[in-house]
A and B are shown apart, each in its own frame.
Chain A
C-alpha cells in the first residue's frame, strides 16, 4: 500500500490537537457533574456539532465508502439509515428523554419503572453495545495507520485506544464536547475537499462511465502487495507478473490466469497491466458496473435475499440509533426538551451534508483503486483514492488530510463510547459515581475492546457497526419508545423484552463475527437479524407487561407529566 509521506505528521497533529483541547477542557472539569454532563451549559450549535462529531465514526468515514465500492446501490441504505435514526430519535425520544432527567439508559429505566434489577440489565447491554461499537473503531485505526505508514495493524489500534482512554480518564465530557465539535468540522473538511478534486479529475479525464457493462479494470499498471492470504475469482483470462506464492507454487515472473479461483499467499506481489479486468476477492461476486449500479442486486452481501436484507438493515439503522449509549448521553447536555429537539434537527442537517460524500469515494474507488476489490480491503478506499487519482504533491497532501480526518473519526467516536461505558461502569458496577471511580472505569472500559480488537479477524468496519445497531434496535428502542408513550409498560415486561431481543440479536452477532453460517436463509438472518429481533422484543415487552399489569408504577401519571409537559409549565423535575 502506498501512503502519503505527509499522512503521519497529519495524524500526529490531530492526535496532539485532541489532547490539547482535552487538556484545555480539563480546567473546567471540577466536579463529577462537570465530568459527566458538561454542566448542561452547552449551546445547541456546539452540541449538534459535538453529537455529529461523535457519531461519525470509522464506519461512516471509511466503511460506507468501502461498502458502496463493493456492493453498490443496496448499501446506500447504511448512511441513509444512520441519518434517519436521528429522525426516529427526534420523533419519539429526544424531548421526553431530556425531560426525564435521565443521563444514561439505566437511569431512564430506573426513573421510569423503578426497578434496580432492570437497571442492571440495561447497564449490561450498554456495556455490550459500547464494546461492540468500539472494536470496529480500533480496527479502523489499525487499518489506517497500516495503510498510510505500513505499520502493523495492532499499532494503530493501541495508539487510538491509549490516547482516548487517557483523554477520557483525565478530562471527562466537558473537554469531550469541544473535541467532538472540532472533529465534526475536521471530518467534513477532510472528506469534502479531496472529494471536490476527485470529481474534477474524473470530469477532466472524460467522465468514465460508472455503470457500463464491464467489470472494473486497472486504470494503470498496478502492483498489489497482498497482505493476507486471499483467494480470488478470475472471470476473464488475465496476464500478470507475480512474485511470491500463487496456487501453492513459488513464482517469480509472468503468469496467465484462466477463469476460476486462485490462491495468493501473504507477501506476494502481483503486477497487472493497464486495462486488465480486476480479479475479485473470493467473498465478493465479481460484479460488472451495470449490476453494481442497480438496487436489489447484491443486498449488501446477501444477493439471494436482497429485499429482506435491505429491510432488515433499514430497521436496524432507523431504530438502532436511539439505543446507542454515546448518543443518548449527549441529550442530557441540552438545557431543556425544546433545546433537545432543536439540537436533533441541527444534527440531521449536519449528517445529511456529510453523508453526501462517502458515496462519491465508493463510486470513484471502482475506477481509481480497483485493486482493493482484489484484496477485499475496500475500507481503505477513502485513504488511497486521493493519491491514486490525483497524484503528485496535491494528491499526497489530500491523502494526508483524509488520514487526519479518519483519525479524528476514531478518536471522537471512541471517546464518546468510552465516556458512556465508563459512566455506566462507574455508577452501576464498580463504584458510586465518584470522579476516581469514573477514571478507573474508563481504564477498564478502554482495555477490554482493545484486547478484543487485537484478537478478532478483520471484518468490514461498517458491518460490525451494523451489528451493534441491530442489538441496540432490539433492546433499547422498544424500552424507550414504549416507556415514553405507553403507560402500561412494567418492569417485568421491559426486562423480558430486553432479554429476548438482546439475547437473540447478540447470539446472531456472535455467530456472524465468529464466522458461522454465511449463506442461505440462516446466513442472512444472522447477519441482518433486526427484522426478526426488533418485532420479537416489542411483542414480548407488550405481552409480558399486559400479564403483569398490576406492576405498573403507582405514580405513572406523575411520570408521564414529567416526561411530556413542557418546561414552560414549571413542572418540577428531578
Chain B
C-alpha cells in the first residue's frame, strides 16, 4: 500500500490501513531525514539509551556489586536466610526474578518512549 502522496517515487510509506489517515508532515519528515525528523528520532534514541544505561547501572550495582561485597564482608557469606546461605540464596534463586523484573521495567519504559513519539507525530 502507498500513501496518497503526490510524489510516490520519493516517499513510499507502508502503513496499516487504519493508520493511513496519519500520513502527515511530521511522518514524512522522519522518512526524509529532514532536520525535524532527525531531531525527533534523535530524541527517541537518547531516551531509549538513557533507559538502557539506567537499568544497566542498577544491575551493575545490585548484582555486579555482590563479589565485592562478599570480598569486603566475608562474614555475610555464612549468614543463613530461609535455611540457605546468603550467597546461594542471592545467586542461586533471587538473581533470576530480579533480572526478570529489570527486563519488565525496560519493556514498559521503552514502549512508552516509542508511544510518546508516535503520539507526538499523530498530534502534530
Contacts and interface: CB of A to CB of B under 8 A. Distances in A.
Interface residues of B, number: 57
Interface string B1-33: 000000000001111100100110001001101
B51 to A, nearest CB: 8
User: Residue among B41, B55, B64 with the most chain A CB within 10 A?
Assistant: B41
Contact of B96 (A92, A294, A355, A565): A355
Interface in B105-124: 106-107, 110-111, 114, 117-118, 121
Majority SS of interface residues in chain A? helix
A76 B16 CA distance: 47
Nearest to A314: B64
Majority SS of interface residues in chain B? helix
A84 interface: yes
B99 A83 contact: yes
Interface stretch (A168-176, A244-252, A553-561): A553-561
Contacts, number: 143
Contact of B41 (A344, A345, A560): A560
B67 A569 contact: no
Given A83-B96, A341-B110, A344-B103, A296 B70 contact: yes
Contact of B31 (A88, A359, A571): A571
Contacts of B66: 295
Contacts of B95: 80, 83-84
A341 B59 contact: no
Nearest to B101: A348
A557 B38 contact: yes
A572 B85 contact: no
A295 B77 contact: yes
A71 B19 CA distance: 58
B102 A570 contact: no
Nearest to A293: B85
A482 to B, nearest CB: 12
Contacts of A569: 27, 30, 117-118, 121
A349 B104 CA distance: 10
User: Residue among A307, A341, A561 with the most chain B CB within 10 A?
Assistant: A561
A518 interface: no
A337 to B, nearest CB: 8
A87 B59 contact: yes
A546 interface: no
B49 interface: yes
A508 interface: no
B81 interface: no
Given A569-B27, A572-B12, A294 B117 contact: no
A551 interface: no
Interface string B78-108: 1000000101100111011101101110110
B18 to A, nearest CB: 11
Given A76-B91, A570-B19, A91 B55 contact: yes
B45 A564 contact: yes
A561 B41 CA distance: 6
B30 A348 contact: no
A58 interface: no
9 contacts: A73-B85, A84-B59, A294-B70, A295-B66, A564-B45, A566-B118, A568-B114, A569-B117, A571-B31
Considering the complex of A and B, which 4 residue pairs feature the smallest CB-CB distances, nearest first? A352-B96, A76-B91, A566-B114, A91-B52
